[in-house]
Structure 1
Amino acid sequence: MSETKLSRGSIWAKWDLQVQPVSNNWLGKNDAATLEKIKKSTQEYLKTAEEKNIEVIGITDHNCGLAIDYAINNNKNIKVLPGVELDTREGWHLLVIFNENYKEKIGLEKWSEAVEYFLAKNCKIDRPFFNSDNTHKKINCTTKELISDIWNCDIGIVVFAHCMSNSGFFKKSDVQGRKEIIDYLINGNIYFSFEIKEKYEQIEEIQNKIKGWYPKNHPEIPILSSSDAHKASDVGSTYSFIKANKNYEGLKQVLFEPKDRLFIGEELNDNKTDYSVIDTVKFIDDNFLPHEIKLNQNLVTIIGGKSTGKSLLLRSIAETIDPKEVIDRHKEVSLDVYSKKIKGFEVKWRDGQISKLNNIDNPSKKIIYIPQSYLNRLVEKNEEQTSIDDIIKNVLIQDVDIKNAFENLQSKNNSLNSKVAKNIEDLEQLYANFIELNKSIKNIGDKKGIESEIKKIENSIADLKNKSGLDSSEIAKYNDLIKIKDKLAKRQEQINTDLESLNLLKSENTEIINKPLFSNVSEKTKEELNIEFEKIQKVFIDDWLSFIDNKITVLNEEINEIALVLSKTDNDLKPYSGKLNNSKILTNLELSLEKEKNKLNKILIEQQKLEDLKKEILLIIDNLSDFTKSFYNNLFDAKSIIMKQKLIKDEMDFEIDILFKEKAFHNQFVLEVFNGVKLSTYVKSNSLNIDNYTVKNIEQFKADIKTLILDFLYKKIETVKRYDSLSSALKVLLKNWFVFDFKLTSEGDRFNEMSAGKKAFILLKLLIDLDKSSKYPILLDQPEDDWDNRSLYSQLRKFIKEKKKERQIIIVTHNPNLVVGTDSEQVIIANQKGNSTPNNIYHFEYTSGALEDTSIRLQDNAIPILNRQGIKEHVCDILEGGEVAFKKREQKYAISTVHDNV
């Protein structure tokens, strides 16, 4: 059974690649006493390295390898890389850090022998390698020839030592000699590194010196920092931070990715917060490898053949941490839910907290999870407002002022919706009262007919009076009394109506003042406000009821007074009635006249009520149409604040339009509410083309809303049965039909005009920007499905390389550009047991490591497939184009033009 390798991949460590335990006095000597001194010196160097937390050292004595074997064989904690320092003809000092396989390749057992072999064969130095005065001999070939030989034969890595010193690259030789070396590198023929001792400002000086030799944005030559220690106490006095496996292949990565793999400085600032980094994950299921899989804090890529458990691993991580995120993402774009279920899964965070699958007591952790094809489906959704708008909004509200603007907008709209609902309710009630009152007036009689009848009766009474025995003064007195009686009767009728209304008002709900909302205050403050409000409300209600009672008392007193006056008036009329001829006829006429006048008074009072109702109805209709404009105005006010945002940037322009939701209006109002059969009839008979409605301006919309409300009132619009009540139809009509339409532009392209790949890229950036503060992990499942190859390499690859510095990213992919091109710190290989793909024990197994993990493929089919080769070889086998991606990564320097300003 082979041991499963689960490495965290490339991690940072301190490297000091120029230490020299062999004193200059001992060079050229190999007697027992000298060798003992070298051993003792080497022990001291290793001890100092360990004390200073140096994890890798390069032993690079001049023309000598006597300390290397002892250092490698007699130490467990420090990685020792074999090397040598050389003098060139130009006077430059070169370090050669050997390929750890070099000794075996040339068939030698000791590094001391391998170094001598190299000096003789490749450097062309005659034995002995030291002059008679114990100074070391120079190489007997050109520097360019030697570097080419070393690189092409994979002997090692060349470093121009202390390149800013008097014996360094930039001080020795002439411009032409330096230019020849640099040109050779730029043309892709060789690789090498520079090295400084301790003056970090020299880095910028070096970069400025060679800037003219590179085209724009070309990768930099790596610049290492080493102690050049000639005594043990100097080991680790300066060093390089290198992110790689602690071996030759790891060091080699610095040549290809100098910006990402190498850091020079006293303190490395690459640690992410412990609470935002997944440290380990583990399956708890008999079908899966039970070991903890350690995760790198930067970029983790998961690869494997079809159905090997790669997406299952990613999804299990996501579902364990935030199952709602997984469900919501799938639901958003109608993605199928995965059928494969596992028994258990555990995620351990670097802060020590543990998330377990289906555990309601999990710590509150977040992720950004992007399922396979999610972005593509999202950009294809053809709706007036989609999840994309929600994503943009969620990015914007990270700004406190903008968040407040959105909350204020919501609060205003909630208040408007409440007002709309109340006004619709009032309108329906008032209109019902209007209809009922109209019927009541018709039941009383025809006003015009009653007025005509009154005229007729009055003429008859006048004739009788003229024929009576009354003189003119008596008739005048009689008429005055009749007028008084009529006036009192009218007042009596009005008072009775008022008393009826006051008694009704008194018996209705006394909560005249609505309780205000205290949603944004603490419970303690809310309680205090409610207590005080109830006190004020009670005082108001008591005063209000007292006022009504007083008014009723006053009106009742007036009724009593009117009754007394009417009684007196009737007594005053009796003498005149007795003198009138045909007094019985006159009495009947007067009774008829009084009856008709009462009817007319009743009609006039009711008509005034009807007119008042009509005014109230029209006022409410005006209010409702104003509210529709207010929805628009609220958005407009919020827009002015939101447009001050500084969160959406990075080559993206941001604008906001206020959009009328035409499709929603048509689908939810026109098609839902209108009787479809009668819709065309309404459209033909009306200037308002409701079937293809659009808003030209807000004033026009406000006027159209008013027209529609009136048409609902007057039954000009035939609705389907479920909307036959006025309120049900108006509740749909008077919804807020306006939304923000967020406009994104990048490199001159509007979002809706971009390619699918560019849209996906913009969305991914926005999703990641959602979490700028906490920077929780990003989980991407096969993002290449959302990108074309060109966009993937030019945009996504670069984006991931930058973002992995800020947050942990875990990707499942089939694309080598997302593994090799992004310089993934850790690659996890997934495998499902099969006839040609055996595992150790379990049905699903994993192995992991760095891109630089390389080993020769083993041909023994009995060995589990994950253990047959290194990570690099797995990448090349599994990913189509993997080998090409590695070669492309190693050929980044090759260009066609070289600048001459050296």
Structure 2
Amino acid sequence: MKLHEITYGLRQILFEPHNRAKIQVSEPEQKNDYLVIDSLKVKHKDFGEQVVPFNQGLNTIIGGRSSGKSILLGCLARLCGDFTPIKKSKSSYDDYIADIVKSMSLDWRDHSETGNRKVDFFPQSYIIDLATDKKKISELVVRILRSEETFNEKLSEIKDFLLEQTGKIRSLFAQYKSVKQEKEVLYEELLALGNKQGIQQEIDKIKCGMAELKLSMLEGLSETEEHDYELKKEQLADFERQKKRAIHDIKVLDGIKNLRLLIDISDKLFDLDKPLSDIIEKSYSQLCSEASEAWKKRVGTFITQQEEKIKDLEKEIKFIEESSEYRKAQGLYAKNQEYMGYADKLKVENKRLENILQKEKNIEGRGVKVYPYISFKHTEYIELINRYLDGRASVNQDVINYQYKNSEEYTAFIDSVFDKLYSRQYILKRGIDIEEAVEHVITFNGFAINYNIQYQGDDLESMSEGKMAFVILRLLLDFSKSDYPILIDQPEDDLDNRAIYAELVRYLRIKKKVRQIILVTHNPNIVVGADAEEIIVANQHGINSPNPDEIKFVYRSGALEESFKNNNSNILLCQGIREHVCDLLEGGNAAFQERENKYHL
């Protein structure tokens, strides 16, 4: 049986039969000793010398305004190693607590003192601040989901995918810049080469002149010899092209011989044990070295093949050039300087035409596409754009005021921004490098994993702040797999009364069986409705509420069923815990009455 003493304790079992009495061999609802705060000891001028005991279940701290309730809870948090600010925008409050804890010690039920131990601490207004901050809600959901192994695996997959895609985009952009520079050079060369139509007309004119000259060159070459000479010239031209291509390929292969094949994994090892991390890093480094050497060897084989090909081609070229038929024809044609002049001119014009055709082919169709997905990070996008673009320029307003609609539309938008940046249609801030601006825009991951939370058919964003705060509190209490103590300061400030009684009380009843809960409250429904095992009454010394020896802050604890009144001048000792609950908490009598009427007692 869970009771304080016989007289009123047995009566409490009638009020709470399911929670106050068990028939079994072992004591129910026992928690691990290292997860239970047993007591707090303090010896300080503002507190005197006190010991504040705690129960392993639900502990509620009550009292009038500025009676030291939040101070006590804040000291518990600090002694456990949690340095979350106790009061928003009140650094002096935190400074005061930092001074007090120097004179305090925390005893855990495993007989160890103080020392940093994990607790969940939610200071005043923490829950409503969290409920109205989308980013913090997402962080909370991720924190809870991280306790699931499958979630961590999927999250790692997504992170790896994003890193891989960002790397690909950077690589493609580097290629794009190279191609763009090539393209600009090609355009300049194309203009320098002349008009394509004019060159073709010139070629036709030269051919006519050469044909007329050939009729006069009848001294020495038969039709068969002339035909063989033309074939050999074509063969020579083809061998020269192959040789040139092979030389080009060797340069390309030589450039990729020292490529880094494997990614750096050091940032993925930080969660591992240090010795294991060192072993893996060493093994991975060795693997990288082996792969690099194997790659160099493989590429070297391809280079050797191309070098052998060049040697073979040079032999073929030499064989043709030194053949008697070719040399005879060359000699005859060389005698006719006018014909050779035509031939050289034809060669130049043909080369120009070939260059124009090749450059036109190279200029066609160069583009990069980016396909982002998931939800858009608008704030980060604005920060990025403002870093590079002049916000005062009217031509920049479409990109500065952009509003995300969907991934397809965003893709088209980024394509447009990409083109306009490169064509200098946007005005950049002074000193900004356009290449840097473009690279950061196209590699910006503007998408994040967000979480839509629903409760009773409503989306979180459509709820009232009170209901929203309760749902967040439920996430904190009901879905966490942690079993260390929970410290909460006045959760009712964020919730409406109906939610407190109907929902919060029910969750406190459930959670206190598996986790120690210590909370500050002004609401009697939490104290009485949740059947708190320990009620700690706080009092600040005053004319109408004197403490012994005029000590500033004094605490007294006891069970809910403790009830009496006497003439003691000490405000905390002149009545029982039940009477303190009724005096200090508005609606306290009604809460007790509702509890007792539940079973018509």
CA distance in 2, matches of 1:681, 1:663: 17
Q: Distance in 1 between matches of 2:303 and 2:563?
A: 96
The residue that corresponds to 2:469 in the other structure is 760
TM-aligned CA distance change 1:819 to 1:693, over 3 Å = closer
CA distance in 2, matches of 1:682, 1:798: 53
Q: Aligned pair in 2 of structure 1 residues 349, 689: CA closer, same or farther (>3 Å)?
A: closer
Q: Aligned-pair distance for 1:838?
A: 3.5
CA apart distance, 1:516:
7.6
Aligned partners of 1:244 and 1:251 also within 8 Å: yes
Specify which structure has the higher proportion of helix: 2
Matched to 1:853, the amino acid is E
Range with bigger deviation, 775-784 or 824-833: 824-833
Q: For residues 717 and 495 of structure 1, do their structure 2 counterparts lie closer, same or farther at Cα, with a shift above 3 Å needed?
A: farther
* Alignment gaps of 5+ in structure 1: 1-240, 357-361, 633-658, 896-902
Give yes or no for contact 1:391–1:770 (8 Å, CA) kept in 2: no
Q: Corresponding residue for 1:261?
A: 20
Q: Does 1:850 align with 2:556?
A: no
Cα 1:570–1:285 change in 2 (3 A) is farther
Where does residue 339 of structure 2 map in the other structure?
A: 586
Matched with 1:813 is: 521
What secondary structure sits across from 1:296 in the alignment? coil
Aligned to 1:308, the other structure's residue is in SS state coil
Q: Report what 2:31 is aligned to.
A: 272
Tell me the SS of whatever aligns to 2:175.
Answer: helix
Q: Does the CA-based 8 Å contact 2:389-2:396 persist in structure 1? A: no
Q: Which amino acid aligns with 1:694?
A: K
Find the aligned partners of 1:724 and 1:483 in 2 and give their Cα distance: 55
1:453 aligns with 2:190: no
Q: 1:751 aligns with which of 455, 460, 466?
A: 460
- The DSSP-based 3-state class of the residue aligned with 1:811 is strand
Structure 1 vs Structure 2: percent identity of aligned residues? Answer: 29
Cα distance, 1:726 vs structure 2:
4.8
Q: Are 2:6 and 1:295 aligned?
A: no
Q: Tell me the residue number matched to 2:262.
A: 514
What do residues 363-389 of structure 1 show as CA deviations (whole Å, max 9, x unaligned)? xx32222221122222233x4xx2223
- Measure how far apart 1:767 and its partner are: 0.9
> Bigger radius of gyration, 1 or 2?
1
Q: Aligned in 2, Cα 1:500/1:412: closer, same or farther, shift over 3 Å?
A: closer
Give yes or no for the alignment of 1:537 onto 2:292: yes
RMSD value, Cα: 3.8
Per-residue CA deviation, residues 15-34 of structure 1 (Å, 9 max, x unaligned), is xxxxxxxxxxxxxxxxxxxx
Q: Secondary structure at the match of 1:776?
A: coil
Structure 1 distance, partners of 2:442, 2:260, is 29
Q: Is the 8 A contact 1:465 1:475 kept in 2?
A: no
Q: Distance in 2 between matches of 1:606 and 1:559?
A: 28
AA aligned opposite 1:749? D
The offset of 1:435, in angstroms, is: 2.9
**Are positions 1:399 and 2:148 aligned together?**
yes
Note the residue ranges of structure 2 that are not aligned, 5 or more in a row: none
Aligned equivalent of 1:282: 41
SS in 1 for 2:451: strand
SS of equivalent to 1:348: strand
Question: Aligned pair 1:462/2:211, yes or no?
Answer: yes
What is the rounded CA distance, in whole Å, between the counterparts of 2:556 and 2:536 in structure 1? Answer: 6
Q: What CA distance in whole angstroms lies between the structure 1 residues aligned with 2:40 and 2:180?
A: 67
Paired residues, what number?
585
Shift of 1:497: 5.7
Map of 2:329 onto structure 1:
572
Cα distance in 2 between the residues matched to 1:483 and 1:600 = 22
Distance in structure 2 (CA, Å) of the matches to 1:319 and 1:825: 24
The alpha-carbon deviation at position 764 of structure 1 amounts to: 1.0
Q: 1:436 to 1:367 in 2, by over 3 A?
A: farther
Work out whether 1:694 is the aligned partner of 2:405: yes
Change in CA separation of 1:741 and 1:245 when aligned onto 2, cut-off 3 Å: same
1:408 to 130, 141, 157: 157
- Give 1:536 shift: 4.2
* 1:414-493 matches, cutoff 5 A: 414-466=163-215, 468-470=216-218, 481=229, 484-485=232-233, 488-489=236-237, 491-492=239-240
User: What is residue 577 of structure 2 aligned with on the other side?
Assistant: 871
Matched, 1:880 2:586: yes
| SS of alignment partner, residue 831 of structure 1 | strand
2:375 paired residue among 644, 649, 660 = 660
Contact 2:120–2:487 under 8 Å retained in 1: yes
1:547 corresponds in structure 2 to 302
Q: Aligned to 2:202, what secondary structure does the other structure show?
A: helix
Cα distance in 2 between the residues matched to 1:544 and 1:854: 90
Instruction: Give deviations 1:371-410, integer Å, cap 9, x for gaps.
Output: 21122222233x4xx2223323333343333333333333
Residue of structure 2 aligned with 1:342, choices 88, 98, 104: 98
1:593-742 paired onto structure 2 within 5 Å: 593-604=346-357, 606=359, 610=362, 617-618=366-367, 621-622=368-369, 624-625=370-371, 628=372, 632=373, 659-661=374-376, 663-664=378-379, 667=382, 691-695=402-406, 700-701=408-409, 704=412, 707-708=415-416, 711-712=419-420, 715=423, 718=426, 720-721=428-429, 725-726=434-435, 728-742=437-451
Task: Name the aligned partner's letter for residue 562 of structure 2.
Answer: D
Q: Within the alignment, does 1:891 sit opposite 2:597 as a pair?
A: yes
Corresponding residue for 2:496?
788
Query: d(CA) in 1 for partners of 2:385 and 2:520?
Result: 46
TM-score normalized with structure 1 length: 0.58
Q: Structure 2 vs 1, CA of residues 586 and 607 (structure 1 numbering), >3 Å: closer, same or farther? A: same
1:563 Cα offset (Å)? 5.6
- What letter corresponds to residue 310 of structure 1 in structure 2? K
Distance 1:843 1:690 in 2: 57
800-809 vs 667-676, which moves further: 667-676
SS of residue in 1 equivalent to 2:206: helix
Say whether the 8 Å CA contact 1:421–1:731 is kept in structure 2.
no
CA drift at 1:808: 0.8
**In the TM superposition, what whole-angstrom CA distance separates every residue of 1:624-670 from its partner, at most 9, and x where no partner exists?**
43xx3xxx4xxxxxxxxxxxxxxxxxxxxxxxxxx532745863566
1:499 partner letter: I
- 1:246 paired to 2:14: no
Query: What's the offset of the Cα at 1:811?
Result: 0.7
Task: Tell me by how many angstroms 1:566 deviates.
Answer: 4.6
CA distance, structure 2, for counterparts of residue 283 and residue 456 of structure 1: 110
Q: What's the CA shift for 1:872?
A: 2.8
8 Å contact kept, 2:38–2:108: yes
DSSP 3-state at the match of 2:5: coil
Q: Structure 2 vs 1, CA of residues 859 and 576 (structure 1 numbering), >3 Å: closer, same or farther?
A: closer
Alignment of 1:150-189 (within 5 A): none
Quote the residue 1:376 is aligned against: 128
After superposition, what is the alpha-carbon deviation per residue over 1:518-557, rounded to whole angstroms, capped at 9, x for unaligned? 9579544564454345334313312322431441343255
Per-residue Cα deviation, 1:695-716 (whole angstroms, up to 9, x for no partner): 1xx6x45862684376358627
1:803 corresponds in structure 2 to 511
- Give the SS at the match of 1:306: coil
CA–CA distance in structure 2, aligned partners of residues 804 and 512 of structure 1: 56
TM-score (norm 2): 0.83
Instruction: Give matches, 1:352-367, under 5 Å.
Output: 352-356=111-115, 362=116, 365-367=117-119
Aligned AA for 2:345? Answer: S
Letter of the structure 1 residue corresponding to residue 213 of structure 2: L
Q: Is the 8 A contact 1:298 1:809 kept in 2?
A: yes
Distance, in Å, in 2 between the alignment partners of 1:558 and 1:663 is 60
Letter in 1 for 2:402: D
Counterparts in 2 of 1:606 and 1:552: CA distance versus 1, 3 Å: farther
Does the C-alpha gap of structure 1 residues 723 and 428 become closer, same or farther in structure 2, counting only changes over 3 Å?
A: farther
What code does the residue aligned with 1:412 have? F
Corresponding residue of 1:502: 250
